[in-house]
Structure 1
Amino acid sequence: MKAYFADEQKRHDPTFFLSSGAPQPNPEQPERAERLLSGARAAGLEILRPGNHGLGPISAIHSPEYIDFLQRIYERWQRIDGASAEVIPNIHPIARTGSYPASAVGQAGYHMADTSCPISRDTWDSACWSAWTAVSSADAVLSGDAWSYALCRPPGHHAFRDVAGGFCYFNNSAIAAQRLRKSADRVAIVDVDLHHGNGTQGVFYERNDVLTVSIHADPVRFYPFFWGHADERGEGLGLGYNLNLPLPRKSDDDAFLEALSMALRRVEAFAPDAIVVALGLDAFEGDPFGGLSVSTPGFVRIAEAIASLRRPTVIVQEGGYLCDALGGNLTAFLNGFGTVQG
């Protein structure tokens, strides 16, 4: 089967990261892409370069105000006397219903949820190619492939329509789902990342054509803290089209698979024409974030369960950070999925 990736995605190389008030090396490193590429090749996938799809598929999810901000903010930031090397917000609005600031500093606070998504010279280009990777993968499925893999880096599921956050700039999973809507009346997004897909939830929270389901570490004491709780079910037309299944810290394979069984029952009730899997490998027991305890064989079981739905599927890479098993975990998932889906 096909996998998509562009070398431009490795140019984004963030340095700033703040965890519990302490500066740390940023864990979203270009080396992630190299290890994931090795994992995809080991699973026998053909690595293809995505096309340049322009801003159309991105603007189908993100506001023009936000896109303009991401495209221009680094250049504007460099004109500030004494500014940091990367765009890092230092003020955030309590509510986002007031006026829109004119200054670069104000707009950074308005459009960046936290400090874990610094913007450097190459961020815009890498984020665009990451989004186009998701689009090309969706197009492969629209053209008849049973499934495809989008090696999206930087990741995307924490990005809202007009807010970056959690290493994410464009919401690749949402972009893929919207692209599939060209021929699919209903699309389900199944997010198995360690962290709740808060941006994806926000994008579709009032829609009934895209079902969003997320299994993740309980946010009561874990990022993203303010989203991902079980009582968040959608609003308006979207009421009942969002399902969150938070798990206690260090939950193992069996606990994850039990939650996944509940998730897939909801997906089957929705009867989607296509599925997007937001694949986070950071639920792994040896991932640096240490939130859950899924094993490498556990990823095989997760993949097999999702593939058993036998729907056209786009697998979009989300989290999964540097550890010896990162590439092997991807290989395990892809092999498990391919064994069932074909």
Structure 2
Amino acid sequence: MLTIYSEEHRYQDGKAELIDGQLLPPFEMPRRAEMVLERVRAVGLGDILAPQDFGLAPLEAVHDARYLAFLAAAWGDWVKSGREHDALPLNWQIRGMRALEPESIDGKLSYFSFDAGTPIMSGTWRAAQASANVALTGAARVKEGARGVFSLCRPPGHHAAEDYYGGYCFLNNAAIAAQWLRDHGAAKVALLDIDYHHGNGTQSIFYDRPDVFFASLHGHPKQEFPFFLGYEDETGEGSGEGANANFPLEWGTGFERWFGALQEAARRIRTFGAEALVISLGVDTYKDDPISHFTLDSDDYLQIGRTIAGLGLPTLFVMEGGYAVEEIGVNAVNVLTGFEEAS
């Protein structure tokens, strides 16, 4: 299997995130991608290629132009305000407040974000663009006929919506890739999110669309971040009704129950009739992940890969979460090797 990877992910290297009531070193760190790449090489998964540059057009097909302009200018505006440490938001527009974009950088950070765990720094925009290009390059290879491609994206993307960031995500790599596949000939695309956390950004981008089916297996929003999306009754709206499926699972979920949800999601994807499949590949479902509460083991990821292969679709794997850093490479690559074995 071909892997797409960019060294530019290292330009996103935050000093602190607000979590558990403290400013702590981010769980989302460059070493995550490095460990996955090391495992790709160790098992001889296949060639590793640098991404092409697709420009802004594929990003603009998914994200709001004002939001992209904010991301491109945010660090410069932050430094102009007299600060050179990582930029984090101050407060959020919430019930009863007006949804108007402020002029000051503090206001913009708050307006375009939904958490304080996603620091912006000098290299954020560069790293985020490179990550999107990693996903797009993988999508292009799938269009050219590859059975499966691994886009080793970092920063991740599935929490980023049309016009806001959070959850370590700035550009929604999986959504950008899915839209690119639609724009280049696939009549229907399915997007399966197996990260521990709900892909709120991906859901919101495609929620009223009948041409992109989104399914997510995740920690139940009554217990788990991002809390405010991911319930079972969110099934799409308008012409997209029925093209969204959530499988929220409570803390302590093990592989048997999780796998049952995966099988149902796979059944829904078959019924949908997709021509291509994008996987938001998070392995923070692992039993020892420091910020998650499922109990999957490393060998379980082999079966996940085999099941995905059973769908028989051209498949793009887009890296998302996974914060047990020493095991992330084994777990992520187990999905890919399981897929290869069954293809």
User: TM-score, with normalisation over the residues of structure 2?
Assistant: 0.97
Give the AA of the match of 1:319: G
Where structure 1 has 5 or more consecutive residues not aligned to the other structure, the ranges are: none
Q: Report what 2:19 is aligned to.
A: 19
Matched letter for residue 336 of structure 2: L
Report the Cα distance in structure 2 between the residues aligned to 1:45 and 1:233, rounded to whole angstroms: 38
Secondary structure at 1:296 match in 2: coil
1:303 aligns with 305
Tell me the amino acid that sits aligned with residue 159 of structure 2.
H
The residue number in structure 1 matching 2:30 is 30
Other-structure match for 2:154: 153
- The verdict on how the C-alpha distance between 1:97 and 1:305 changes in structure 2, with shifts beyond 3 A counting, is farther
Partner of 2:262: 260
Query: Given the alignment of the two structures, is residue 282 of structure 1 paired with residue 284 of structure 2, yes or no?
Result: yes
- Whole-Å Cα distance in 2 between the matches of residues 265 and 66 of structure 1? 36
After superposition, the C-alpha distances for 1:48-72 in whole angstroms (9 at most, x for unaligned) are 0001111111111111100000000
Paired residue for 1:87?
87
Q: Partner of 1:34: helix, strand, or coil? A: helix
Pick one of 194, 197, 205 that aligns with 2:196.
Answer: 194
Where does 1:111-122 land on structure 2 (aligned, <5 Å)?
111-122=112-123
User: In 1, Cα distance between the equivalents of 2:287 and 2:310?
Assistant: 25
Q: In structure 1, how many angstroms separate the alpha carbons of the residues matched to 2:88 and 2:27? A: 16
1:235 has 2:243 as partner: no
Q: Which of 321, 325, 328 is matched with 1:326 structurally?
A: 328
Residue type matched to 1:16 in 2? A
Number of the residue aligned with 2:271: 269
TM-score, structure 1 normalization: 0.97
Q: Do 1:134 and 1:316's aligned partners in 2 also have CA atoms closer than 8 Å?
A: yes
Work out the CA distance in 2 between the residues paired with 1:18 and 1:76: 22
Letter in 2 for 1:66: Y
Could you tell me how far apart the structure 2 residues matched to 1:331 and 1:221 are? 29
- The whole-number CA distance in structure 1 between the counterparts of 2:209 and 2:171 is 19
Secondary structure (helix, strand or coil) at the match of 1:324 reads helix
Residues 338 and 87 of structure 1: CA distance in aligned 2, closer, same or farther (over 3 Å): same
User: 2:192 and 2:100 mapped to 1: Cα distance?
Assistant: 35
Contact 1:189 1:213 in 2 (8 A): yes
2:78 is equivalent to residue 77 of structure 1: yes
Where does residue 315 of structure 2 map in the other structure?
A: 313
Q: Within the alignment, does 1:50 sit opposite 2:51 as a pair?
A: yes
2:176 alignment partner AA: I
Query: Matches of 1:21 and 1:72 in 2, distance apart?
Result: 29
Secondary structure of the residue aligned to 1:166 is: coil
Percentage of matched positions with identical amino acids: 38
Tell me the residue number matched to 2:106: 105
Deviation at 1:253, TM superposition (A): 1.1
What is the match of residue 226 of structure 2? 224
Query: In the TM superposition, what is the alpha-carbon distance from 1:97 to its structure 2 partner?
Result: 6.2
Q: Counterpart of 1:15 in 2: which secondary structure?
A: coil
Which segments of structure 1 move beyond 3 Å, counting only runs of 4 or more?
95-98
Three-state SS of the structure 2 residue aligned to 1:221 is coil
Query: Cα offset for 1:91?
Result: 1.6
Measured on the aligned residues, the alpha-carbon RMSD in Å equals 1.2
Compute the displacement of 1:42 (Å): 3.0
Report if the CA contact (8 A) 1:250-1:290 is conserved: no
- Whole-Å separation in 1 of the counterparts to 2:112 and 2:285: 28
Letter in 1 for 2:337: N
* One-letter amino acid of the counterpart of residue 264, structure 2: M
Unaligned residue ranges in structure 2 (runs of 5+) = none
Is the 8 Å Cα contact of residues 198 and 228 (structure 1) preserved in structure 2?
yes
By how many angstroms is 1:84 displaced? Answer: 6.0
Native 8 Å contact 2:288 2:324 kept in 1: no
Corresponding residue of 1:172: 173
Q: Provide the rounded CA distance (Å) in 2 between the counterparts of 1:22 and 1:219.
A: 22
Give, as a single letter, the amino acid of the residue that structure 2 aligns with 1:85: H
Q: How many residues align?
A: 340
